[in-house]
Amino acid sequence: MLQKLGFLWLERPWRVAGSLPSYAPERAVPRFRPSDKAMHLASHVREIVGEQIEYRELLYQMTLRDLLLRYKQTVMGFGWAVFMPLVNTAVFSVIFMRVTRIDTPVPYPLFAFCGFLLWNFFASSLRFSVLSLTANSNLVTKVYFPREIFPFSAVLVCLVDLAVGSTLLVALIAYYGTPVTPALLFLPVVMAVCLAFTAGIALLLAMANLFYRDIKYLFEVVITVWMFATSVVYPIESIGGRLGVLLAANPMTQIIEAFRAVLLYGHLPEAGPFALTAMLSFGVLAAGWHFFHQAEFTFAENI
C-alpha cells in the first residue's frame, strides 16, 4: 500500500548501548517519479487547453465585441489599421531619406512599412491586453470562464488589424516590383512565433496590471523604448559593437527581420537566431499561461 502511495521507507541500523544491533524505520520520504510529474504536467496542459476549446464560442464573441467597440462611431473604421503604419512610414521616410540616409536592402518606405505593420500589431496587442482584465471587472468577479479570453481576444482583434493593413503592404510590394519567392511559404511559421511571443507577454502584462496598477503607466514608456531597440525603422546591421549584439538579441528584432526576409528579401531567416527566438517565444507563452492560470482564482480579490 505504501508503495502505491509513492512513499519509500528507508531503514538504517542504529545501536543502543548494551544491546544487540537493531533496525528501525525512519520517517517516510515522499518520492515522486518523473513519470508522475510528466502526468501531472500533461493533465495541467489538457485542462487549460481544454477550457479554451470549451469556451471557444465565448472567445469569438468577445473578439467580435471588442472589434466593433474599437471602431464604433469612427469615420475611417478599419482604415485606421492602414493609416497609422502609413503615417509612421511617411515620417521616418522623410527623416531617413531627406535628412540623413541609411542603406536598406529594399526601398526604405517598403522596409519601414513592413516593420511598422508587425510592430503595431505587437504594441497594440499589449496595449489593449494590459487593461483587458481591469476593464472587464464585472465579468471577472461574477462569472467563471477562462480569464485568458480577455488578453487573447485583444491579440485577435489586433490580428484582424494586421490582416487589413497587409493589403497595403501587398500593394507596396507590387509597386516596387519585389518578386514573390518560395520563401513566402515560411510566413505562417514566422506568424506563429510572433503570435506565441505576443500572447505570452500579453498574459503576463494583463495579470501584472491587475496586481500593480503602475504597470499601465510604465508600459507606454517601455514600449516606446522597445520600438527603438527593435529594427523597425533601421536595419540592425547598421549598429555595430556590443550595442548591435544586444539589439540583435531582442526577440522582436529577430521576428521582424524574419518577416521581412520571407516577404521582401526572398529567403528564409537565419536558422540559428530564429530557432532560439522560436523556443523563447513558445517558452514565454507556456510560462505566461501557466502563471496566469495559477493566479486567476485570486483575480476577483484584486479588482
Instruction: Please state the rounded mean pLDDT for residues 159-175.
Output: 93
The mean pLDDT value of the chain amounts to: 83
Residue 276 confidence (pLDDT): 96
Q: How far apart are CA 226 and CA 112, in angstroms?
A: 16
Name the grid cell of 53.
Answer: 476549446
Say if CB 138 and CB 152 are below 8 A apart.
no
Tell me 266's DSSP state: S
Residue 273 confidence (pLDDT): 92
CB-CB neighbours of 257 under 10 Å: 23
Residue 21 confidence (pLDDT): 44
Name the one residue in this structure whose C-alpha cell is 548591435: 244
Nearest to 277 by CA among 220, 222, 195: 195
CA distances from 25 to 3, 6, 182, 251 (A): 15, 16, 68, 54
Residues 6 or more apart from 223 whose CB is under 8 A from it?
123, 126, 127
Residues 6 or more apart from 242 whose CB is under 8 A from it?
none
Name the grid cell of 91.
Answer: 515620417
Name the one residue in this structure whose C-alpha cell is 492602414: 82
Kindly report the length of the chain.
Answer: 303
Helix, strand, coil in percent for the chain, rounding step 5: 75, 5, 25
Residue 216 confidence (pLDDT): 87
Residue 30 confidence (pLDDT): 53
C-alpha triplet 66, 68, 70: angle, nearest 5°: 65
Name the one residue in this structure whose C-alpha cell is 514565454: 284
pLDDT beyond 50 at 41: yes
Name the grid cell of 253.
Answer: 528584432
How many alpha carbons fall within 13 Å on the CB side of residue 238? 13
Residue 298 confidence (pLDDT): 80
191-250 per-position pLDDT tens digit: 999 999 999 999 999 999 988 888 989 999 999 999 999 999 988 888 878 888 888 899
pLDDT beyond 80 at 150: yes
pLDDT band at 78, cuts 50/70/90?
confident
* Three-state DSSP state, 226: helix
